[in-house]
Structure 1
């Protein structure tokens, strides 16, 4: 089995990062013949989120490419053995996954819990990546503004920043998507 690759894509809300990630996955599948897999972490918790999930599902179904969609809002490491070296995984998105992990239990946000959540997300991504041909991870760039005044928001931002730093370090390619334009931050593109 050849080495798997990790592509990290980040950007602001509604920047076009998910669409770019889907195009990137399709491009890789056309070269490798791999199976497209969409690992969705969203939970339809309100009408807006439900609408966004339905739009993403419709966009994938309407295309000429065959996506296998797996919905897993927490503990993505449980899925690692479901994938193989021929698979291309698009995980959308880390910010939602972090939110789900933090709020899926009534656990107190002490340092032990927070470290466990961070490590579970990193371990999950790493475990899936090791089993697949390519893993594309999408996240939101929410750290451009100061996180003042709310300890919970600060804690979330700190954890997300640590996860992003790990992903950037491990990634073969990193893109920042601004207004629909992908900017190469790391790696060489074809």
Structure 2
């Protein structure tokens, strides 16, 4: 089976990127008569995160579409065998996945190993599905504290964004609820 079409959606916190990504996934699933899957990387670590997770779950429930949700904060590659060429996958979100991978790994985890683990997971899921929509936060526009861990995270998310966009059919930046096509042709 050929790898899935990958669509990358980025934007700031609360920019509307997840809603837009869900819209893209639903449209493709309707077009091909496929099933919708949602890989949720978020973990309810505090009240704000619990509320955000509940909002995303509620939005999917009220959408009128049946989503199969996979709570997978790390090691997304293990999900690949569960998907088929009629599946449309939404991964929300890459920045959370990277954070989880960083904190679940050894303190001095090798950047290359973390980068490859995430890209391998994305590649396996893409290979076993029809379309993969990846949501990520645009976090590199802000200033950061002088911390080795923060800089490691910034380097990794920057490299991941560049690589994923390079293999994506489309890339969008969502600002104030408005998706801006940055790569590819509009569907």
TM-score normalised by length of structure 2: 0.96
Q: Distance in 2 between matches of 1:98 and 1:127?
A: 17
Structure 1: which 5+ residue stretches go unaligned? none
2:154 to 152, 157, 172: 157
Q: Which residue of 2 aligns with 1:50?
A: 50
Pairwise CA distance, 1:151: 1.9
For structure 2, the 5+ residue unaligned runs are none
Which secondary structure does the structure 2 equivalent of 1:73 belong to?
Answer: coil
2:180 to 156, 178, 183: 183
What CA deviation, in whole Å up to 9, does each residue of 1:97-156 have, x standing for no partner?
000000014x1325xx22111110000001100110000000000011243522211110
RMSD of aligned Cα (Å): 1.2
- Determine if contact 2:2/2:127 at 8 Å carries over to the other structure: no
Shift of 1:3: 5.1
User: Aligned partners of 1:145, 1:151: CA distance in 2, in Å?
Assistant: 16
Distance (whole Å) between structure 2 residues aligned to residue 37 and residue 122 of structure 1 = 19
Within 1, Cα distance between the matches of 2:147 and 2:2? 45
Deviations 1:71-105 (A, max 9, x none): 10000001111100000000000000000000014
User: Which ranges of 4 or more aligned residues in structure 1 deviate by more than 6 Å?
Assistant: none
> Which range moved further: 138-147 or 28-37?
138-147
Q: With the length of structure 1 as denominator, give the TM-score of the two structures.
A: 0.95
Q: Does the 8 A contact of 1:147 with 1:157 survive in 2?
A: no
Aligned residues: 187
